[in-house]
Amino acid sequence: MKKFLTAVALLLMMATSADAAIYRQGIIYVIYDETGERSVTNKADVNSNGVPDVVEDIATQVNAAREVFQGVFNFPDPLNAARFKNVSSIEINIEAKDALKFNGLAYSTVRKKSAHDPNERALHFKVANTINPHTSSTPAHEYFHLVQYSATYFRNAWYLEGMARWSQDSVAKINYPDGADIHFKLKSKSAEEKIFKGKYDMADFLWYPLAVNMRDKVTLPAELVAKYRYVDGAPVFQDDIIFGPNVMLKILRVLKSKENLAAEKFGGVKEWRKKGQRAELNNEFILESVREVYHGKF
Ligand SMILES: [Zn+2]
């Protein structure tokens, strides 16, 4: 018994880093190490509050993106989704870039005992300790994955990563490609093959051109743009233009309506949700959703 307890104690020590700190901004909690290899690379603290500015700025960017998507455009709210029951916060863990490999990683699972309160359930994602929100919209990108997860179980990369890259336009300034050839891309077999193999690159190839072609250009409310600033006073929103929010929201809704068809083809909803979220057979349903929205069916 004693041996068992020792093992458990050891595991707990490994799971929680000794100097992990928690910074809260609204429903966002950033969990970060103050020193060591997981601590943020840029330790500037211009407001001298003991929290690295990068940590505060990551939370600020996510709250800003959240207000754009939920407050202005009515995208599904991850904290209110049928899929995630009784979650009340979002936890962001800062991880060493070397260990994480990516700039960020978003989970579609609920953290049943959140890091800031074991009695609370939280959604969560990771952001690399090298990220600087002034120049990177990774925090908004990872947040948008939570929006996607709460909208639909579809998870094929050309949709999941391509549209999440599109969502970075919420805070970033994007040089929009020409949308003139989208009609051809949605019909052509060779374009279809390229789309199905795509990932982040589908933002430029498909999602931005689609938004531009459909003339879904929106100017963010001036009060919102003025509201969000990083610790050093720099604006969070790099410009006040976003292309495509209405189109993308429609596509998410149509995707939801196609889930049963995809699941049926895979062998049932339970099986599909478990193993079929990235199945190749999903591709036709996702692209069909895009085509239907493009042709104004919704
Ligand atoms: Zn992503």
Q: Are residues 83 and 159 in the same domain?
A: no
In a domain, 194, yes or no: yes
In a domain, 15, yes or no: no
Question: What local confidence, expressed as pLDDT, does residue 17 receive?
Answer: 55
From first to last of its 298 residues, the chain has per-residue pLDDT tens of 444 444 444 444 444 555 699 999 999 999 999 999 999 999 999 999 999 999 999 999 999 999 999 999 999 999 999 999 999 999 999 999 999 999 999 999 999 999 999 999 999 999 999 999 999 999 999 999 999 999 999 999 999 999 999 999 999 999 999 899 999 999 999 999 999 999 999 999 999 999 999 999 999 999 999 999 999 999 999 999 999 999 999 999 999 999 999 999 999 999 999 999 999 999 999 999 999 999 997 7
Helix H or strand E encompassing 92? strand 87-95
Question: From ligand 1's centre to the CA of 50, what distance in Å?
Answer: 30
Supply the CATH number for residue 27's domain. Answer: 3.40.30
Q: Is residue 78 part of a domain?
A: yes
For residues 126 and 237, state if they share a domain: no
Which of 116, 151, 186 is the last residue before a domain boundary? 151
Say how far residue 66 (Cα) sits from the centre of its chain: 10
Question: What separation in Å is there between the alpha carbon of 124 and the centre of ligand 1?
Answer: 13
Q: From 130, 151, 172, give the residue that closes a domain.
A: 151
Task: Tell me whether residue 5 is in a domain.
Answer: no
State whether residue 100 is helix, strand or coil.
helix
The alpha carbon of 163 and the centre of ligand 1 are apart by a number of angstroms equal to 9
Say what the alpha-carbon torsion angle 66, 69, 70, 74 is, to the nearest 10 degrees.
Answer: 180
Which of 242, 255, 287, 67 has its CA nearest to residue 151? 255
**In terms of domains, do 119 and 175 share one?**
no
- Residue 18: what pLDDT? 56
Domain boundary residue, one of 100, 131, 151: 151
Domain count, the chain: 2
Domain range for 218: 153-298
CA 297 to ligand 1 centroid distance, Å? 29
Q: What is the 1 CA–ligand 1 centroid distance (Å)? A: 44
Chain centroid to CA 286: how far? 19
Residue 61 pLDDT: 98
- Residue 7 inside a domain? The answer is no
Distance 241 CA to ligand 1 centre (A): 22
Report CA(138)–ligand 1 centroid distance (Å).
8
